[in-house]
């Protein structure tokens, strides 16, 4: 029976992979060139259309895929058998399938493929199209499930006792060690890898100034008496966001004044979030292994990695510091250290006003949790004292702190969005109102239309983009947060707003920064989900159903770990991803992390520009001029410093134009607007960069010394 299961799994998985490679890949980011190369390697044929070089036809037989699937089976089962013997463990006998049990998952994608074909043959075109669109997603689920099942079979799922949850959680004891050695090693690897990637992006002139290096300019200008601003902003930065947490980095930045310093701090703090995840999970499950798996999934979780390096290569955002702050705050709440918790909440709010959207619902949850604990304590005291008259006791004192937090969060959000930010913007409306333009032109109008026009709200939410976005957040966690449902509800308001965001609807993937406040809630809910799973009373189930329905913490922690690993390989851009290693991908390591001629030639540009100059430059070289007298943006975007006109400010001494970046719009001298409009005012400098950079110097600058330096 086990052999039949494995054979059936191989056949059905091969059918599903064949269908994907010859049809639509869906979520799998394989470009046409790599796809054609893979098909050719497997003995198939890929035909490109002669005009646009797009894949026109793919032919691939089933035999090579069957051989590969069979080879994987032999190696996996053989290796597992050897490992079990070396560990002197008996062979697993789960549901009488032994080592073949994980191959149940291989039936899933092929089964969906067969259902799709049956639906098509029956004339159910809508059902067939839906199943076809889900095929790549189902394949990823099957792969994650297969890996997690193997992990459980090899390690076992009985380490630790979930029954210890209440005792350990109520005691609030400090763990005897900071974390298990796999988690500590994982944190170290994450820090080393992402610091290296950040540094290489910076060295390669691939980090944009806008929404990344501009935050470093805030600190430089603040330290040098120019205010909390960059010259990209319309006035002080507080007119954009109440976001000042990076000021706390000034003691370190004053010693090492560089964008890399901020990037290192961000990477370290994001990685540190694995510690509270580990601590909370160990208390909830009573298992160090479960805690290690969920903590490692945090480091592998693609939406977290995109906070460190966004899909558009923005490598620093202060909003990231609120993520571990909330996780540590949740841990402190479980330890009953409320003052530290409140301090961490303040850090989160200083990371961006968006965190108020979490703290508001969280306050209500804390009030509810305090009420439940108060009732349990009252019932226990009454039972111990023999008081059975059932007289109610006041619980108001228990719920007041949570309600106070909820009220404060709402008040803070209103203060930021209706008073502080507009005041620093000279009364102008919030810039991110345009993300919800279908509902109105102001926050009040947007909220009113959402409430009074439920049809409009539903049509904006009930989209394929919403489903895809929610899946990309929950699938890498194996949907475990849903088991901690009350905690998950804390994140529902901001999740709804994210799904209404028109930028996300146009590209429903969590690879920007908008989802940052939601991540700690998802993991906090996942921890609560593991605790809920450990309380399932399986003894109430029939004996034959127990092996099938046993939902242990270990299995779901392993599922979350493997799901994050698989999702990272598919949608991520880290060294564990397909795109990192594909030479034809935009995110290939050869293209992003090996400095090219632009970076090698740029020091020649810096050599001709004095430190006291005011420089206007294009986005990706702009970060190199933030320590100059002033650093202006050279683009067609209207800026206040240029009176909202399409020109550079009047006091600009130099213009530096990057002609070879993939976003560059200017490639030759005749395209430079200053040389077309007023050539008598500008001198073209020969920097010896072979056209990679265009450098203009104002002829009549009264600010510079006679030698221009």
- The rounded distance, in Å, linking the Cα atoms of 101 and 107 is 11
Tokens found for residue 342: 């409140």
pLDDT confidence of residue 98: 60
Task: Tell me the mean pLDDT in the region 515-540.
Answer: 81
- The rounded distance, in Å, linking the Cα atoms of 309 and 305 is 6
Tokens found for residue 47: 């035909």
Check pLDDT > 90 for residue 434: no
Task: Tell me the mean pLDDT in the region 419-431.
Answer: 78
Rg of the Cα atoms in the chain = 29
Asked whether the CA dihedral 579, 580, 583, 584 is positive or negative, the reply is: positive
Check pLDDT > 90 for residue 92: no
Check pLDDT > 70 for residue 701: no
Are the CB atoms for 222 and 228 separated by under 8 Å?
yes
Identify the CA nearest to 563 among candidates 301, 374, 249, 358.
301
Q: How confident is the model at residue 541 (pLDDT cuts 50, 70, 90)?
A: low
pLDDT confidence of residue 170: 42
pLDDT tens per residue across span 486-518: 999 999 999 999 998 888 888 888 888 899 999
Are the CB atoms for 466 and 473 separated by under 8 Å?
no
Residue where the block lists tokens 């006679």 = 706
Check pLDDT > 90 for residue 173: no
Residue 45: φ, ψ to 5°: -140, 135
Lowest mean pLDDT among 465-479, 545-559, 631-645: 545-559
Check pLDDT > 60 for residue 536: no
Q: How confident is the model at residue 438 (pLDDT cuts 50, 70, 90)?
A: confident
Identify the CA nearest to 365 among candidates 335, 403, 414.
403
Q: How confident is the model at residue 171 (pLDDT cuts 50, 70, 90)?
A: very low
Q: How confident is the model at residue 609 (pLDDT cuts 50, 70, 90)?
A: very high
pLDDT confidence of residue 382: 67
Lowest mean pLDDT among 201-210, 228-237, 328-337: 228-237
Q: Which residue has the higher pLDDT, 443 or 205?
A: 205
pLDDT confidence of residue 160: 44
pLDDT tens per residue across span 655-669: 999 999 988 989 999
- Annotate 4-21 with b (16+ C-beta within 10 A) or e (fewer): ebbbbbbbbbbbbbbbbb
Q: Name the β-bridge partners of 570.
A: none
Percent of the chain with pLDDT over 70: 87
Q: Is 485 left (phi over 0), alpha (psi -120 to 50) or beta?
A: alpha
CA distances from 410 to 359, 364, 406, 518 (A): 9, 12, 6, 17
Q: How confident is the model at residue 534 (pLDDT cuts 50, 70, 90)?
A: low
Check pLDDT > 90 for residue 393: no
Q: Where are the alpha helices (DSSP H) in 535-637?
A: 546-549, 553-571, 578-581, 589-592, 597-606
CB atoms within 10 A of CB 126: 8
Tokens found for residue 162: 């979930």
Q: Is the pTM of this model over 0.85?
A: yes
Check pLDDT > 50 for residue 162: no
Q: Which residue has the higher pLDDT, 264 or 79?
A: 264
- The rounded distance, in Å, linking the Cα atoms of 393 and 596 is 72
pLDDT averaged over the chain?
Answer: 84
Residue where the block lists tokens 């450098």 = 695
pLDDT confidence of residue 168: 44
Q: How confident is the model at residue 157 (pLDDT cuts 50, 70, 90)?
A: low
Locate the domains of the chain by residue range: 2-156, 162-376+396-428+463-579, 597-698
Q: Which residue has the higher pLDDT, 301 or 155?
A: 301
Task: Tell me the mean pLDDT in the region 28-54.
Answer: 74
Q: Which residue has the higher pLDDT, 575 or 399?
A: 575
pLDDT confidence of residue 271: 97
pLDDT confidence of residue 150: 85
């Amino acid at each position: 029976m086990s052999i039949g299961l494995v054979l059936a799994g191989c056949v059905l998985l091969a059918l599903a992979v064949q269908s994907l490679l010859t049809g639509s890949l869906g979520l799998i980011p394989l470009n046409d060139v790599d796809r054609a190369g893979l098909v050719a390697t497997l003995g198939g044929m890929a035909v490109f259309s002669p005009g646009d070089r797009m894949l026109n036809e793919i032919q691939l037989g089933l035999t090579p895929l069957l051989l590969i699937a069979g080879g994987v089976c032999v190696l996996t089962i053989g290796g597992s058998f050897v490992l079990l013997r070396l560990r002197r463990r008996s062979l697993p006998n789960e549901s009488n399938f032994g080592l073949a049990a994980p191959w149940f998952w291989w039936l899933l994608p092929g089964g969906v493929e067969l259902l799709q074909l049956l639906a098509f043959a029956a004339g159910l075109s809508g059902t067939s199209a839906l199943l076809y669109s889900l095929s790549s997603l189902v394949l990823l689920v099957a792969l994650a499930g297969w890996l997690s099942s193997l992990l459980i079979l090899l390690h076992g799922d009985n380490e630790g006792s979930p029954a210890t949850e209440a005792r350990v959680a109520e005691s609030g004891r400090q763990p005897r060690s900071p974390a298990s050695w796999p988690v500590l090693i994982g944190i170290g690897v994450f820090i080393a890898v992402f610091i290296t990637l950040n540094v290489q992006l910076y060295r390669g002139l691939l980090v944009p100034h806008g929404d990344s290096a501009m935050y470093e300019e805030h600190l430089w200008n603040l330290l040098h008496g120019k205010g909390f601003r960059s010259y990209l902003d319309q006035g002080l930065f507080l007119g954009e966001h109440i976001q000042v947490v990076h000021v706390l980095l000034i003691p370190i930045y004053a010693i090492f004044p560089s964008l890399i310093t901020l990037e290192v701090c961000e990477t370290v703090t994001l990685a540190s979030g694995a510690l509270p995840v580990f601590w909370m999970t160990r208390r909830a499950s009573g298992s160090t292994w479960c805690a290690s798996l969920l903590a490692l999934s945090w480091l592998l979780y693609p939406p977290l990695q995109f906070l460190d390096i966004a899909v558009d290569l923005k490598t620093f955002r202060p909003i990231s510091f609120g993520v571990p702050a909330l996780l540590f705050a949740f841990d402190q709440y479980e330890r009953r250290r409320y003052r530290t918790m409140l301090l961490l909440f303040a850090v989160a709010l200083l990371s961006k006003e968006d965190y108020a959207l979490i703290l508001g619902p969280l306050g209500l949850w804390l009030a509810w949790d305090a009420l439940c604990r108060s009732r349990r304590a009252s019932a226990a005291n009454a039972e111990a004292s023999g008081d059975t008259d059932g007289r109610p006791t006041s619980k108001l004192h228990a719920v007041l702190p949570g309600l106070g937090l909820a009220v404060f969060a709402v008040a803070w959000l209103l203060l930021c969005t209706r008073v502080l930010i507009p005041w620093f913007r000279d009364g102008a409306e919030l810039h991110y109102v345009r993300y919800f333009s279908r509902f109105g032109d102001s926050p009040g109008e947007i909220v009113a239309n959402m409430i009074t026009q439920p049809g409009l709200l539903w049509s904006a939410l009930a989209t394929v983009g919403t489903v895809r976005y929610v899946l990309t957040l929950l699938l890498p966690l194996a949907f475990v947060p849903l088991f901690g449902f009350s905690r998950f509800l804390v994140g529902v308001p901001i999740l709804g707003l994210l799904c209404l965001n028109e930028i996300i609807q146009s590209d429903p993937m969590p690879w920007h920064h908008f989802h940052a406040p939601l991540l700690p809630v998802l993991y906090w809910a996942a921890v609560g989900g593991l605790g809920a799973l450990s309380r399932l009373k399986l003894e109430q189930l029939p004996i034959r159903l127990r092996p099938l329905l046993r939902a242990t913490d270990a299995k779901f922690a392993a599922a979350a770990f493997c799901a994050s690993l698989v999702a990272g390989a598919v949608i991520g851009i880290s060294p564990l991803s397909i795109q990192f290693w594909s030479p034809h991908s935009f995110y290939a390591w050869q293209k992003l992390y090996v400095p090219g001629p632009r970076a090698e030639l740029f020091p020649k540009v810096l050599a001709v520009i004095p430190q006291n100059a005011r420089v206007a430059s294009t986005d990706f070289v702009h970060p190199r001029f933030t320590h100059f007298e002033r650093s202006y943006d050279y683009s067609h975007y209207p800026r206040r410093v240029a009176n909202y006109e399409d020109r550079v400010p009047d006091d600009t001494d130099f213009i530096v134009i990057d002609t070879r970046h993939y976003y560059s719009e200017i490639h030759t001298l005749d395209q430079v607007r200053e040389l077309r409009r007023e050539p008598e005012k500008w001198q073209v400098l020969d920097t010896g960069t072979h056209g990679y950079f265009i450098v203009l110097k104002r002829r009549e600058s009264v600010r510079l010394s006679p030698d221009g330096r």
